Every structure is written in structure tokens, then in C-alpha cells.
Amino acid sequence: MNPFAPVALSVEGLTLETPTVQISEELSFTVSAGEVWGILGPNGIGKSTLLKTLAGLLPMPRAGSVRLFGQPIDHWPRRLRARRIAILLQENDPGLPISVHETVLLGRHPHLGLLGQPHFEDLRKTLGALRVTGLGPRRDSPAGSLSAGEAQRLAIALILAQDPDIFLLDEPTTQLDLRYQRLMLEHFAALAHRKGKAVVMALHDPTAAFRFTDRVLLLLGSGRYLVGATPEALTPPALASLYGTEVVSADSRRGRVFDFF
């Protein structure tokens, strides 16, 4: 990674909890432009809550801070923040009764002028997002007519059209077939490594995390966590501690592959 890349997102001393889960205790890490981070942990450990906190969608917790390009996340006006950071949530809203193209165009809203009319660049990025997600042939279809996998790709297309500096992705491969799982993860990795975007994504598959991320955050429970470069941190002992089951690994042409017992 580029040692001179600007810090896009910084977390300092974050103690985060819900009424039932202690997510982190004094968690600190920084995400630089051009990096892909993976967040792994068992169901219910708080990955979604952490991502929403990083996006500024939840009140700041009792301890710690989140900074977006050096400024506290809650100091950013919502419209300006939406130009710099986008989040893909698990609970996708079915949306308005409009077409696929019109839905993706909504991602350009933070960039529109006072009159709210899209310009050439807005249409170009919208069409590009449709192409990347394979939804070009469905552009005139009602958004509500899509299958579950297509609806997930639509949600991805919307944040791609938004074109932020930081992507926060909550299980982006949910509902996707194997082909689109690979294509979408490859695309986000390319946005980071070639375009200087910062990408943070919650993942369940450690093999995908090993292949597509540079650094990982493992949420171990009871506020404990492990942060490190992916090859060093994503090991069978660490994953066994994370998921409570025996893990083995093997190296393949594409990288490390993990299996569970």
C-alpha cells in the first residue's frame, strides 16, 4: 500500500456496544485511500452496527471517535458526507415504484445542483454502474420486479453511481451467484487499488477476505478484536477463535483457501 496515501477514515478508542453485545473496547485503526479492509465475525457480533457507526448513521458511542478525512464524522453536513462516503446495508429498501435506471440515478443526488437536474456526468456514472452490475438490459424494468440477486446488484449499482471516496459494504455478496460474487469483489478491489478509493466490507467468507482484502478486523466478542494485514491475521488459529470451530487452510493458485470442521 502507498505509505503516502491520505487517511480516509480513522477510528480512535472506539468502545461500541448494543444492549446485548459488547462489540469493541477501545478499538483503533485507520483506513487509507487505496486500501480494502475486511470485517469478519460471527452472526450478531456487531459488524452492521460498526459499519453504521463508521458511516455516521448512529449516534457516537460513549467513548472514542470516528473521523472522515480528519474531521469528526458527525461534524459533516449530511449532503457533503454523502459525497465522500457510501454504505451498502443488508436491509435494502424496496424503494419507489420507479425503473432500475431511475433508482440508480438516485445515487447521484448528493452531487446534483440547486435545480436537482442530472447532467452528462451523472448519466454517465449511472450507465457505468448499470454496466458493471450487469443490469443494463433491465434498465427500464420496474425496480420492484427484480429477483433477490438482481435487487442486491441494484443496491450496489446505486452506491457505485454515488461515486464516493469510501465504500462501506455490509455483506455485499448476499444473494449473489458465484459469478457476481467474484465480479463485484473484484470491482471494489480495483476501485481501491486503481482509483484510490477506500473500501471496508463485512464478509462471512474468509477465503474471499484473504483474496480481496489488504487488512482485516476480526471481532472476537466481549469487546475483543484483532487487527492486522490479511496474510498475517487471517490464520486457522485466529479463525478457530473467531468462529468456535476447527479451521484448516491450503494454498491455491488464487490464494489461501479455508475449510471448517
With bands split at pLDDT 50, 70 and 90, how would you rate the model's confidence at 114? low
Q: Are strands 166-170 and 85-88 parallel, antiparallel or unpaired?
A: parallel
Q: Rounded distance, CA 33 to CA 202, Å?
A: 18
Q: Rounded distance, CA 17 to CA 67, Å?
A: 19
- Cβ contact 216:228 at 8 Å: yes
C-alpha cell at 191: 476501485
What sign does the CA torsion over 169, 175, 177, 180 have? Answer: negative
Q: Rounded distance, CA 84 to CA 9, Å?
A: 11
121-156 burial, b at 16+ Cβ within 10 Å, e below that, comes to ebeebbbbbbebbbbeebbeeebeebeeebbbbbbb
What average pLDDT does this structure show over 170-189? 97
Q: Which domains does the chain have, with CATH numbers?
A: 7-260 (3.40.50.300)
Q: Give residue 252's pLDDT.
A: 82
Triad 30, 152, 165: Cα angle to 5°: 30
CA dihedral 118, 125, 104, 130 (to 10 degrees): 140
In terms of Cβ atoms closer than 10 Å to its own Cβ (0-12, 13-18, 19+), residue 91 is: exposed
C-alpha cell at 42: 460471527
* pLDDT tens column, 15-68: 999 999 999 999 999 999 999 999 999 999 999 999 999 999 998 888 999 999
Lowest mean pLDDT among 51-65, 86-100, 145-159, 207-221: 86-100
Q: Give residue 254's pLDDT.
A: 77
Triad 138, 173, 87: Cα angle to 5°: 85
Residues listed for the chain: 261
Q: Can you give the pTM of this predicted structure?
A: 0.95
In this model, does residue 137 exceed pLDDT 80? yes
Half-sphere exposure of 251 (CA within 13 A, CB side): 1
Q: Give residue 246's pLDDT.
A: 93
C-alpha cell at 242: 473467531
